[in-house]
Amino acid sequence: MQVDLLAFGAHPDDVELGCGGTLLNYIAQGNSVAIVDLTQGELGTRGTLAIRKQESINAAKILGITDRKNLTFKDALFKEDEQHQLKIIEIIRYYKPKIVLTPAIYDRHPDHGKANRLITNACFYAGLKNIKSSFEGNEQEAWRPNVVYHYIQAINMKEDFVIDISNVMDKKMEAILAYKSQFYDANSKEPATYISNPEFLDFVKARAVDMGHRIQVKYGEGFVKSRSIGLSDIGNLI
């Protein structure tokens, strides 16, 4: 399977929160997108594994993505080691994406920055032919994505570019709210968390407004780059 864009999350719902609007825009343009979650979020305070799995399936349907996989790394306990690196190399070579989106370079949750480093390094290593890998019994060829970008999560940081998501903001919020166990529910008896606070969804919307304001549109999503962005036509800038 080959997709145009591969988005990684450390946990189910990371992608929807960080770059769901960008995925919706890209899919609407006729491109294919897959999501890979590193963990099942099993150490999260709210919800069960079964609930969170179904929620990720529901969110994927709302986004209209081509495929979604979970690598079942141990939540909070996965490491930056050879075993985990090879798993990500395998998945990059399986999907052969042109663009890879990763969690934030650093963030409130340590898994986000750790996942960023694993994925960013794997995007380079996946292009080395002398690193051998296989997926579902099939030997793989080397593959390196054209670009790697990092979405912004809880901690605000200076973005390198912003994607206009004004036309898909409502759909992005619908995909986020597919994770009913994780966000505010007045009837829930589960313990409160950072993201189940009713103000958290206001923060998500406010961040989108702030990013949009920076490029003079209603809503936006910001990204940090790994290397300089090249354009063949200055007219592509807005």
Per-residue pLDDT band at 227 (split at 50, 70, 90): confident
What pLDDT, on a 0 to 100 scale, did the predictor assign at position 186?
A: 87
Lowest mean pLDDT among 47-61, 159-173, 186-200: 186-200
- Rounded Cα distance between 58 and 1, Å, is 22
Closest CA to 95 of 69, 121, 115: 69
Note every long-range contact of 59-64, with CB atoms under 8 Å and residues 24 or more positions apart, other chains counting: 59/12, 59/13, 59/16, 59/175, 59/176, 59/178, 59/179, 60/35, 62/171, 62/174, 62/175, 62/178, 63/16, 63/20, 63/23, 63/24, 63/27, 63/33, 63/35, 63/171, 63/175, 64/24, 64/27
What pLDDT, on a 0 to 100 scale, did the predictor assign at position 39?
A: 98
- Rounded Cα distance between 73 and 144, Å, is 23
- For the domain 5-228, what is the CATH superfamily, name and number? LmbE-like (3.40.50.10320)
CA angle 74, 62, 42 (to 5 degrees): 15
- Rounded Cα distance between 219 and 20, Å, is 12
pLDDT beyond 90 at 226: no
Q: What is the dihedral of CA 229, 23, 7, 202, to 10 degrees?
A: 100
What pLDDT, on a 0 to 100 scale, did the predictor assign at position 237?
A: 77
Averaged pLDDT of the chain: 96
Q: What is the pLDDT of residues 72-114, one digit of tens each?
A: 999 999 999 999 999 999 999 999 999 999 999 999 999 999 9
- Percent above pLDDT 90 for the chain: 90
Q: What is the pLDDT of residues 124-180, one digit of tens each?
A: 999 999 999 999 999 999 999 999 999 999 999 999 999 999 999 999 999 999 999
Q: What is the pLDDT averaged over residues 211-219?
A: 97
Per-residue pLDDT band at 119 (split at 50, 70, 90): very high
What pLDDT, on a 0 to 100 scale, did the predictor assign at position 185?
A: 87
pLDDT beyond 80 at 22: yes
Domain ranges of the chain: 5-228
Q: DSSP letter string over 74-142?
A: PTTT--SSHHHHHHHHHHHHHH--SEEEE--SS-SSHHHHHHHHHHHHHHHHTT-TTS--EETTEE---
Q: Dihedral of CA 150/153/158/162: which sign?
A: positive
Contact 10, 115 (CB under 8 A): yes
